[in-house]
Structure 1
Amino acid sequence: MTIEVFIDIFRDGISVFLTVITPILLVSLAVGLIISIFQTITSINEQTLTFAPKIIITFLVVGLLFGWIAQKIMDFTFRILTTYFGMI
C-alpha cells in the first residue's frame, strides 16, 4: 500500500465519518439549545435536565438512522475492497 492509497482511504473515511455523525450531532445540539433556553426562561439550574433528554433523543436518532448509517459504512467498505485491494 502506497502513501497515496493510504491518504485516499483516510480522506474517504473522514468524509464518511462526518457524513454519518453530522445529523446526530445537529439533533443533539438543537435539543441542548432548546433545553438551555427553557432553563434560562424558567430559571431551573438542574444539570440532569440537559443530560437525560439529550441522551434519549440521541439514541432515538441513532436508532432511526441506523439503516442509513450501516449502508454508508458498507458502501465505504465495499469501495475500499474493490477499488484499492481488488477483492470481491
Structure 2
Amino acid sequence: MTAELAAELCQTALTLALIVGGPILLAALSTSLIVGMLQAATQMHDQTLAFIPKFVVMSLVILFLLPWGISRLTEYATDLIRGIPGSI
C-alpha cells in the first residue's frame, strides 16, 4: 500500500463521515440555537430544557436518515473490500 492510497482512503472515509454525520450535527445546532433563543427570551436557563429537544430532534433525524446512511456506509465498505486485492 502506497502513501497516496492510504491518504486517499483516509480522505474518503472522513468525507463519508462528514456526509453521514452532517445532517445530525446540523439538526443539533439548529435546535440548540432555537432553544437558546427561547431560553434567553424567557430567562429560563435550565440544562434539561436544552438537552431534551436536542435529543428528540437528533433521534428523529437519525431514524429518518438511517436507511440512507447505512446504504452509503455499506457501499463504501463494499468498495473498500473489493479494492483489497489491488492494494496488496
TM-score (norm 1): 0.90
Aligned to 1:16: 16
- Equivalences for residues 1-88 of structure 1 within 5 A: 1-82=1-82, 84-86=83-85
Task: After TM superposition, give the deviation of residue 78 of structure 1 in Å.
Answer: 1.3
The code of the aligned residue for 1:85 comes to I
Query: In 2, distance between residues paired with 1:85 and 1:47?
Result: 48
User: For structure 2, which runs of at least 5 residues remain unmatched after alignment?
Assistant: none
**What percentage of aligned pairs have identical amino acids?**
28
Aligned residue pairs, count: 86
Query: In 2, distance between residues paired with 1:71 and 1:34?
Result: 31
User: For structure 1, which runs of at least 5 residues remain unmatched after alignment?
Assistant: none
TM-score (norm 2): 0.90
